Amino acid sequence: MQKWQQQQQKKRTCYPVFAFLISLCILASLLYNENITQIQEHMESSLSHTSSLNSEIWVSGNLNWSKACVSSRDYRLGGGRARVVSRVARRGKVRRECDVFSGKWVFDNDSYPLYDEGNCPYMSDQLACQKHGRRDLAYQKWRWQPNECNLKRWNAMEMLEKLRGKRLMFVGDSLNRGQWISLVCMLQSVIPAGKHSMTPNAALTIFKAEEYNATVEFYWAPLLVESNSDDPVNHRFNERIIRPNSVLKHASQWENADILVFNTYLWWRSGPKIKLLWHTEDEICEAADGFEAMKLALETWEDWVSSNVDPLKKRVFFVTMSPTHLLSQEWKPRSEGNCFQETTPINKEFYWGTGSDIATMQMVENVLSRLNSKVSVLNITQLSEYRKDGHPSIFRKFWETISPQMLSDPKSYADCIHWCLPGVPDVWNELLYNFL
C-alpha cells in the first residue's frame, strides 16, 4: 500500500468537473437501483416470500428506521476514537517474500475460464454477461501473474478439502456477493449432481457441499454495522442511517463461521451525508461524510474482531476496495466514455483511477494493521484496476426500466461497478485459495 501512495503522488491529474459529476451520477444510479442477485430463476418467488415472512428481523428491537433521525447536526470531526499507527510499527511488520498482489494479467486460453457460465445453476443475471449478449469472451481468459513468483493453480477438489466440515462466509455488499457466487460456481462444477444445494434465507444464503459437510455462505451487511440498508431487498433509501457503535445483530449471524471474508466500500461513497444514530431513542442524529462514517463503522468492526477472533480457530479476511471504471479519459485521454465497449485490460503498470480512493485505503490499512495476525488482507484493488474490460457494462439484467433515451446512449447506463463471471472475482478467489 505504501507503493500505491508513492505512485499516486506522481499522478495527480485534474479531470473536468462535468465528467466527475457524470461518474457520480452513474455510481449513485447503479447503487440506488441495486437489487438482490437472482441466484436461480425458480428461486425468485421463494426468496421474496421468505423476505416478507422475516421482515421483522430487519428492525433492531422496536426501532423503526423511518422515524429515526428526525433531524440531524454535523458530526464533530474527531468525535470518534482517534488512533495513530506509528511508522515504526509499520516498518516492523513481517513482509512476505513474494507480493502476490503485484503483477500483470496474462492471456491464458488453455486454463481459463475455470468454469462455464451456462453450467453454473447459481449464476446471477446481474453478472452473466455472455447470457445477456456479450460476444467478446476474452474477459474470461486472463490469468493473474505475480511478478516474482507463481500462484498455486486453482484446484477445486483441494479447496473442498480445505473447507471440509467448515463454514466459509462472505459478509458485505453486492461485490462480495459476486465473489461468493464466483466461488460457488468454481466449486459446484466438480461436485456430482444432487450432492450440492442452495438455501435462500433473506439476508443469509447458504451453498452446501453435502459430502464435505461444508458450506459457502453469503450474508448481506453492506455497511458492516447495523443500518437502514440491512434488508437485502428493500435497501433503497434517499438517505442512509447507521448505528456506528452497533455490530452485534450482524455478528450473531457470522460469529460461528470458521472462515470469514469481509468487504465494504462503495456504499460509503454515494449519496448525501450518512446519519449516525448513536442511541435508538435519539431524535437528533449526527451527519457525517462517507469517509468519517466508514471509519467509525470499521473501528466498531475492529473491536469485535479484536475481542472475538482467535486466529488459531478462525480465519478472517478483508477484501480491499473493488475499483470502478466510470471515466475512460483516465486511461484513454480525450475520450468521453466509460467501461462500455472495453475489451482489453489496461497495460500501464501501477495504473490508478479515481474509482479507488487513496485516503480510504490508508484509513483501512491503519485499522487492519492494529489487528495484526487476526486478519489477512486480500488486496485486490491494484490488480483489478487494470481490468476495465471485466465489467458487465450493458450485458446484464437490469431490474429498473431503461428509458429510450438511455438505450440510445448505452454508456449512460453501463454497469462499470460489478464484474462479469467468469472473470475478475475468480482471481480474487484463487488468492483466497492460496492464503488458506
- Residue 73 DSSP code: E
Whether 415 is catalytic is: yes
Q: Which of 173, 231, 389, 415 is the catalytic position?
A: 415
Grid-cell match 480525450, residue found: 334
CA-to-CA separations, 269 to 83, 153, 158, 219, 228, in angstroms, rounded: 22, 35, 38, 21, 16
| Catalytic residue (one of 174, 322, 328, 393) | 174
Cell digits of residue 208: 452446501
Q: What is the CA radius of gyration of the chain?
A: 21
SS3 at position 184? helix
C-alpha cell at 433: 485459495
Residue 427 and residue 385: Cα distance in Å, rounded? Answer: 13
C-alpha to C-alpha distance for 436 and 241, rounded to whole angstroms: 35
Q: Which helix (H) or strand (E) holds 248?
A: helix 248-254
The distance between the two most distant Cα atoms of the chain, rounded to a whole number of Å, is: 60
Q: Are 285 and 69 in contact (CB under 8 A)?
A: yes
* Closest C-alpha among 318, 317, 321 to residue 381: 321
Exactly one of 235, 325, 391, 418 is catalytic; which is it? 418
Asked about 418 being catalytic, the answer comes back as yes
| Total residues belonging to the chain | 436
Inter-residue contact 178 to 228 (CB < 8 Å):
no
Best CA proximity match to 283, nearest among 103, 63, 114, 25: 63
| DSSP-assigned beta bridge partners for residue 412 | none
* Active site members: 174, 415, 418
